[in-house]
């Protein structure tokens, strides 16, 4: 179930009502010192889902990480067009022009990341060419993300432990 007052960029055509978004209220300490995830989404989408941030006014001051659970997500980013399928991880700097969309049903987890060395890691990961990754520990990572989402929703998330997990995620992606 989708909650909160959402910008149309979050809930647009093609996002099914079974989708979820978990909000995180970030402490001042975390915002200044830790890795953090502002929002976690678990989206089920139809072939009408599309996010187009190629125009400057549509871009956002955040970093996205996607985990494709089923189906395929078409992505256009920095001159690359590629397909992210089940088991794939995609990293995007949302300050850069990009577009992603579905041509059939897809289920994916998305993260709005920031803080710590997030900007440096995203620059490293997207600077290598196509920002598409495959982790051997994909299912464990996805399960942990869903736990963080539920803890966030219940307001009992530990931002210090979660920061450690987000750092581990970036380190794993950098080593792929």
pLDDT per residue as tens, the chain (176 positions): 344 444 445 567 899 988 988 888 899 999 999 999 999 999 999 999 999 988 888 878 899 999 999 999 999 999 999 999 999 999 999 999 999 999 999 999 999 999 999 999 999 999 989 999 999 999 999 999 999 988 887 788 899 999 999 999 999 999 98
pLDDT of residue 11: 64
Dig out the tokens for 156 from the structure.
Answer: 């009992």
For residue 113, the cross-strand partners are 37, 63
pLDDT of residue 10: 57
Name, in order, each residue with C-beta under 8 angstroms of 156's C-beta and a sequence gap of 6 or more: none
Closest CA to 67 of 164, 155, 150, 142: 142
> What DSSP line would sit under the chain, residue for residue?
---S---TTTS-TTB-TT-EEEE-PPPHHHHHHSEEEEEEEEEEE-TT-EEEE-SGGG--SSEEEEEEEESEEEEEETTEEEEEETTEEEEEETTS-EEEE-SS-EEEEEEEEEETTHHHHHHHHHTTSS-EEE-TTHHHHHHHHHHHHHHHHTT---HHHHHHHHHHHHHHHHT-
pLDDT of residue 61: 83
What span, in angstroms and rounded, lies between the C-alpha atoms of 73 and 10?
Answer: 16
pLDDT of residue 5: 41
pLDDT of residue 6: 46
């Amino acid at each position: 179930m989708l909650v909160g007052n959402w910008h149309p960029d979050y809930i647009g055509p093609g996002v099914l009502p079974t989708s979820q978004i978990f909000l995180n209220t970030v402490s001042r300490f975390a915002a200044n010192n830790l890795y953090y995830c502002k929002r976690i989404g678990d989206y089920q989408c139809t072939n009408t889902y599309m996010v187009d941030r190629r125009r400057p006014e549509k871009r956002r001051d955040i970093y996205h990480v996607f985990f494709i659970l089923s189906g395929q997500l078409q992505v256009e980013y920095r001159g690359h067009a590629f397909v992210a399928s089940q088991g794939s991880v995609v990293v995007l700097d949302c300050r850069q022009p990009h577009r992603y969309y579905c041509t059939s049903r897809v289920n994916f987890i998305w993260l709005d990341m920031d803080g710590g060395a997030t900007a440096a890691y995203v620059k490293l990961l997207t600077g290598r060419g196509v920002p598409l990754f495959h982790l051997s520990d994909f299912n464990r990572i996805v399960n942990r993300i869903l736990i963080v989402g539920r803890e966030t929703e219940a307001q009992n998330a530990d931002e210090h432990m979660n920061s450690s997990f987000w750092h581990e995620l970036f380190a794993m992606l950098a080593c792929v």
